[in-house]
Amino acid sequence: MQHIKGKKAVVSGGGSGIGRAIVDKLSAAGALTAVADLHIPASLPTSAHPFTCDVASATAIDSLFAGVQERLGAPDILICSAGRGIHEKLTEGDPEKWRQIIDTNLLGALRMIRAFVPGMLAAGHGDVVLVSSVSAGQAYPYGGIYAATKSALEVVAETLRQEVLPHVRVTVVAPGVTDTAFFQNTISGFHTAEDIGYGTIAADDVADAVLYALSKPPGVSVNHITLRPTAQPF
C-alpha cells in the first residue's frame, strides 16, 4: 500500500455501503479522504473529511470541488461510487424517476470527472475508479434504466482511459449482488439480496478490489475488475 499512503482522495457516495468501505480502506492505507454524500455518518475515520453533496447537482459539485481544494488540495484519487437503483417496466415506469437515476449514476460521475481530472492531468498523475455493476451490458426485466446507466458508465471509463493515458489510470470495478442497503434505497420497486437468491459479497470485498488496483505501481493499470457471488450466473 506504499503507493496510497499520503495521497488525497475524493469518494462520492462515501457515506455508506461500498463507498464507506472504500473510505475506511483508504484511511487505513494512509490516504486523506474527502467523503462526499447526501448523508454523512456521525463517525468517520480521523483522516476523512466530510462534504455534504448531491452529485446530481452541478452546483453541489462546484461547491465540493471548491471545498476539497481548500481543505485537502488537488486530489490524487477520484472514486465515483454514488449511485441509486430503480426497478420498473419501461412501458409503465416514471420518466422523471429515470431522469433522477441518470443524473446520479451517469451524469454525476461525468460531473466529478470534469471537476477533478483536469487537476490530475496538470499534476501528471492520478487514479479514477468508477463503481459499475455486473448489470452493465446485461439486459434483464425491470432493470433497463439502471443497467443502461452502468453500461454507459463503462463506455465513459474506456473513453476517459484513452483520453488521459499515460498520466492517469482508470479502473472500473463491477460488483454483483452486494450486502448493502442498496436494494432498500431503490427509487422504485423493491428487492432484497435474499429475493435474488445468489448470495452476496461484502462491501469490504469490493473495497479490497479498489485498493488492489490503486496499490499497483504507477506503470501498471488494472482497468476492469468483476467480482460477484460464486453462485451468481451473470
What is the residue range of 187's domain?
Answer: 8-227
Predicted pLDDT at 135: 95
Predicted pLDDT at 48: 97
- What is the reported pTM? 0.96
188 is a domain residue: yes
Q: How far apart are CA 49 and CA 35, in angstroms?
A: 6
- 169, β-bridge pairs: 127
Q: What is the mean pLDDT of each run of 10 residues along the chain (234 residues)?
A: 92 97 98 97 95 98 98 98 95 96 98 98 98 93 95 98 98 95 82 81 98 97 98 92
Q: What's the CATH code of the domain at 43?
A: 3.40.50.720
Predicted pLDDT at 189: 76
Q: How many helices (H) and strands (E) does the chain have?
A: 7, 9
171 is a domain residue: yes
Q: Cα–chain-centroid distance for residue 19?
A: 7
234 is a domain residue: no
Residues serving a catalytic function are 146, 150
Distances (CA, A) of 125 to 28, 32, 59, 184: 22, 17, 27, 38
Which residue in the block uniquely carries the three cell numbers 443524473? 103
Nearest CA among 134, 118, 82 for reference residue 103: 82
Number of domains observed in the structure of the chain: 1
Q: From start to end of 92-134, where are the E strands?
A: 126-131
1 is a domain residue: no
Predicted pLDDT at 223: 98
As a whole number of Å, the CA-based R_g of the chain is 17
156 is a domain residue: yes
50 is a domain residue: yes
Predicted pLDDT at 36: 98
Predicted pLDDT at 69: 98
